[in-house]
């Protein structure tokens, strides 16, 4: 039992998993030698010279970076879920542009009314703001409302449709 314990402790010391004082390795064999312990004949042995674990080279090894991927904002999730064009997400994910197609709108990144409704629903836009958007006339100009930490700005014109910019309050 004593030899088994010596082997285990020596293995721990040699692998650098801890510091075990009084244990070393006999240079002539791989068997661990217990320092200052009595052998079978009852005589005391001298401590074996201590060995040290290998030291790292002077140049540190490159450590892998484990940085998390950036988290998506609610606007990026909305863009993905509602299949909006990539151009809908603005300001590094801090804003969303919903460019509804008007009668004369030639832009290729416009969205239809279903995608617009999907985005407003996904962001939990209050019904009062949705109704205000629905009843906006060209003569009303740009409108602004805030709710749930978001600011909604929109305007409407037959030629360019309903265009909405949504940002976080304070951004």
User: pLDDT tens, 41-93?
Assistant: 555 555 555 444 444 455 455 555 667 777 899 999 999 999 999 999 999 99
Does residue 142 form part of some domain?
Answer: yes
**Domain count for the chain:** 2
100: closest CA among 79, 114, 82?
Answer: 114
Boundaries of domain holding 134? 74-168
Q: Counting beta carbons within 10 angstroms of the beta carbon of residue 93, is it exposed (0 to 12), middle (13 to 18) or buried (19 or more)?
A: middle
pTM of the model: 0.59
Within-domain flag for 67: no
| Confidence at residue 96, expressed as pLDDT on a 0 to 100 scale | 97
Whether 98 and 130 share a structural domain: yes
Using one digit for the tens of pLDDT, what is the confidence trace for 120-158?
Answer: 999 999 999 999 999 999 999 999 999 999 999 999 998
Residue 59 counted as domain residue = no
Give the pLDDT score at 109.
84
Kindly give, in sequence order, each residue whose CB lies less than 8 Å from that of residue 160, ignoring residues fewer than 6 positions away. 102, 104, 105
Q: Is residue 123 part of a domain?
A: yes
**SS3 category, 98:** strand
Residues 37 and 102 in one domain: no
**In this structure, is residue 159 part of a structural domain?**
yes
CA distance 100 to 162: 5
48, 81: one domain: no
Q: pLDDT of 90-125, one tens digit each?
A: 999 999 999 998 888 777 889 999 999 999 999 999
Domain membership flag for residue 60: no
Same domain, 36 and 101: no
Cβ(146)–Cβ(154) below 8 Å: no
Closest CA to 82 of 127, 120, 110: 120
Same-domain pairing of 82 and 145? yes
Neighbours of 84 (CB within 10 A): 24
pLDDT digit string, tens, across residues 6-20 = 334 344 344 444 433
What dihedral angle (degrees, nearest 10) is formed by the CA atoms of 116, 120, 122, 126?
A: -160
Of 169, 168, 75, 164, whose CA–CA distance to 116 is shortest? Answer: 164
**Same domain for 78 and 160?**
yes
């Amino acid at each position: 039992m004593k030899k088994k314990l010596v082997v285990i402790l020596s293995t721990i010391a040699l692998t650098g998993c801890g510091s075990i004082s009084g244990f070393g390795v006999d240079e002539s064999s791989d068997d661990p030698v217990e320092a200052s312990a009595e052998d079978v004949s009852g005589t005391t042995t001298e401590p074996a010279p201590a060995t040290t674990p290998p030291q790292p080279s002077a140049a540190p090894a490159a450590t892998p970076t484990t940085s998390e991927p950036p988290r998506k904002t609610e606007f990026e999730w909305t863009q993905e879920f509602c299949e909006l064009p990539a151009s809908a997400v603005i300001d590094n994910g801090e804003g969303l542009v919903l460019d509804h197609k008007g009668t004369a709108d030639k832009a290729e990144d416009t969205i239809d009314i279903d995608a617009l409704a999907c985005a407003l629903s996904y962001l939990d836009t209050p019904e009062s703001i949705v109704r205000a958007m629905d009843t906006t006339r060209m003569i009303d100009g740009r409108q602004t409302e805030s709710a749930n930490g978001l600011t909604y700005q929109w305007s409407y014109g037959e030629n360019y449709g309903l265009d909405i910019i949504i940002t976080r309050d304070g951004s």
